[in-house]
Amino acid sequence: MIGSKIKTTLLLAILTALVISIGGMVGGRGGMMIAFLLAIVMNGGSYWFSDKIVLAMYHAQPIEEAQNPQLFSIVRELATEAGLPMPRVYVIPEETPNAFATGRNPNHAAVAVTAGILRILTPTELKGVLGHELGHVRNRDILISSIAATLGGAIMILASIARWGAIFGGFGGRDDRKGGILGLLATAILAPIAATLIQLAISRSREYLADQTGARLSHNPESLARALEKLDASSRRIPMDANPSTAHMFIVNPLSGKTMAGLFSTHPPIDERIRRLREMR
């Protein structure tokens, strides 16, 4: 668990360094400062509004305890076990079984489950899934993934600026330096790829950590392992109409049934996750 946290911190540091270094290549010291400020503004917007945006994106509906007492009972038990406030509970009108957690911190957290997951999982399997999602809340993964996503977005913007700078001869009177122009062009091409790979590494690392935390909260690694088997099979059979930018939030990749979705998967292999969970027994 400590190793995963150290790895995530290092990867976030690399993303931040990429943002600043691209800003420096594009506009020198002033460009570095602009890039840094851009990252701060984007992170601020993501921190305050990402939960509202993603819940609205999937038409998630808030529900009260009277509408599903069993679901609320499981969430409340897990939240108490984790030492967390009771999160808001949402249901997504979607038949593909899946779930995610969102919110800027434990005091503003929400868990969302699809209608499909409530139909196919047993109560113990559902408890394993919700334990995984509350594990994300407890481990502050939502904040980490939001920071990674916005830093990645900043890199994409700066890489686009660098690409146009290379096309039109560079910035700041350096158009006679072919090395500088070629460097800008290489940065414009390679930086977004590097940013994407780092984001994927962060997401995969946090999934393993949430599996471990969820198994401990539910006191039953096998129930989460069985749930993952069911969810993976269902997602391959009935892919969810999900936005790729939010795929990392779900417990299993909602795009796993779509062509080429596994090439840049935001989730580690299901078989490996299940193997690690069953080793915890």
Q: Which residues are catalytic?
A: 133
Find out whether 114 and 120 touch, Cβ atoms under 8 Å.
Answer: no
Residue 68, helix vs strand vs coil: coil
- 216 exposure class (CB count in 10 Å sphere: 0-12, 13-18, 19+): middle
38 secondary structure, DSSP code:
H
CA-to-CA distance for 135 and 101, rounded, in angstroms? 9
Let me know: does 90 contact 60? Beta carbons within 8 Å: yes
Q: What are phi and psi of 5, to 5 degrees?
A: -65, -40
Using a 10 angstrom Cβ sphere, with 0-12 exposed, 13-18 middle and 19 or more buried, the burial of residue 17 is exposed
Structure tokens, 30: 């002033």
